[in-house]
Amino acid sequence: MGGHGTHGIAAVDIATGLATVWDPISGDGGVFALAVSGSTVYAGGTFTAFRGQPRSGIAALDASTGIATAWDPNGDGAVQALVASGTTIYVGGGFTSIGGQPRNRIAAVDASTGLAAAWNPDAGTGAVAALAVGGTTVYAGGYFTSIGDSPQSHLAAIGDITTPTLLSLVGAQATPNRVRLTWYAADGHTVGATVYRRTMSDDWNALGVISADGTGRIDYEDTDVLAGTRYCYRLGVLEGGYEVFLGETWVDVPRATEFTLAGLRPNPANKDLTIAFSLPDTSPARLEVLDIAGRYVVAREVGELGPGNHVLNLAKDRTLAPGVYLLRLTQGGHFLTARAVIVR
């Protein structure tokens, strides 16, 4: 390139168009993405080494020498998109593990340690091919059809990990004529939020503004629903002049209630143990979580929730260790089971 032999990556003089002597030498795979932060050039692609240093799909290169630094998130698949934002490198591609953690196609990696942050949108089975950061939102484009538990076709806006307000869904109940949702602000402060709703075919619409009570609890009841329709709800909260979207969940409004256990949402999950299930009546019912040895981890009586579709976060006050768990729903001599995976 530009009169010099290069190997998948080059620095070109903006005045002359000629390649400089900077040549990290990636001879065993392509380079698909670049990002610059200070004196470091971040590269993503299908390579496995730079100048003899093993680097799988992602590397940090010295902007002066081209030598790979010690930073090594070690992805297990192609990296197709990179954005450097402060102390975080956002990464997209076809990988399922990076920075020492399971991450499906999208991740946030610490610019100093190379370790994956807790932020885990989960793009399912479709590669993320483009990324951009604006304010407190990460924008992603690619071949995915979902982000976490939400259907998202090829383009998504995702809350950034720097969001200081910790809001999580506690539970949701759906009957044929209404949906009740409860969120919780972890700091217990009163939080003003806008409730948004969308369907599989319609865009987001604001339903109203609500506030948390003195304990941090936020409740909302939606009575304008159609039986048999799937709705997605989320909260919009102002942070630093930007509206940040949190606590997103899909709820199925039943035509008639049945005894079902849909399981963990999403599965795998990295923090909350949010479980979707349905009850046909108000008779006693119990939802249990067991480890692989069959020992009880957490359980709750749920019959008082009544008939309808329910979404319940059983890990609100505790953190579960990574691993495989068994979910069991019991009512009236009948039981259903499902498998759940917690990752970090």
Q: What is the mean pLDDT of residues 43-56?
A: 88
Q: Could you tell me if residue 121 is left (phi over 0), alpha (psi between -120 and 50 degrees) or otherwise beta?
A: alpha
Tell me what pLDDT residue 210 has: 87
Q: Which of 263, 304, 306 is nearest to 175 (CA)?
A: 306
Higher-pLDDT residue of 143 and 213 is: 143
Question: What DSSP element (H or E) covers 83?
Answer: strand 79-85
pLDDT digits (tens, 9 = 90+) for 211-268: 877 777 888 999 999 988 999 998 888 765 667 777 778 899 988 778 999 999 888 8
Q: Which helix (H) or strand (E) holds 217?
A: strand 217-222
Q: In what order do the strands lie in the sheet with 31-37?
A: 31-37, 40-45, 58-62
Tokens encoding 319:
């953190």
- pLDDT of 304 over the 70 cut: yes
Least confident of 112-126, 148-162, 229-243: 148-162
pLDDT in the model for residue 1: 47
The arithmetic mean of pLDDT across residues 318-325, rounded, is: 85
* pLDDT > 90 in the chain, percent: 41
**Which of 9-13, 22-26, 154-158, 226-230 shows the lowest mean pLDDT across its residues?**
22-26
152 or 223: which carries more pLDDT confidence?
A: 223
Residue-level pLDDT at 6: 47
Place of tokens 């069959």: 294
For 194-204, how does the pLDDT look when each residue is reduced to its tens digit (9 = 90+)? 999 999 888 89
Q: What is the pTM of this model?
A: 0.52
Instruction: Identify the CATH class of 31-159.
Output: mainly beta
pLDDT of residue 211: 81
Omega cis (within 30) before 284: no
Give the separation between CA 72 and CA 70, rounded to whole angstroms: 6
pLDDT band of residue 270 (cuts 50, 70, 90) is: confident
Per-residue pLDDT at 143 exceeds 60 = yes
Q: β-strands 49-50, 53-54: how paired?
A: antiparallel
Which string of b and e fits 59-74 if b means at least 16 CB within 10 Å? Answer: bbbeeeebebbebbbb
What is the pLDDT, as a whole number, of residue 343?
82
- The per-residue pLDDT for range 169-191, each reduced to its tens digit, is 888 989 888 999 988 876 555 46
- The correct answer on CATH 2.60.40.10 for the domain covering 167-252 is yes
The ranges assigned to domains in the chain are: 31-159, 167-252, 260-342
Q: CATH class for domain 260-342?
A: mainly beta
What is the C-alpha separation between 116 and 227, in angstroms, rounded? 41
Mean pLDDT along residues 287-309: 91
- Amino acid 137: pLDDT: 80
Output 279 or 168, whichever has higher pLDDT: 279
Token representation of residue 75? 């992805």
Answer whether 31-159 and 167-252 agree in fold.
Answer: no
Measured distance CA(21)–CA(31) in Å, rounded: 18
Average per-residue pLDDT in the chain? 85
Rounded mean pLDDT, 68-75: 92
Is residue 75 scored above 70 in pLDDT?
yes
pLDDT at 7 over 70: no
Q: 14 Cβ partners below 8 Å, 6+ apart?
A: none
Residue 41 has pLDDT above 60, yes or no: yes
What confidence category does residue 153 fall into, taking pLDDT thresholds of 50, 70 and 90?
confident
pLDDT for position 161: 47
Q: Give just the sign of the alpha carbon dihedral 193, 199, 203, 205.
A: negative
* High-pLDDT (> 70) share of the chain, %: 90
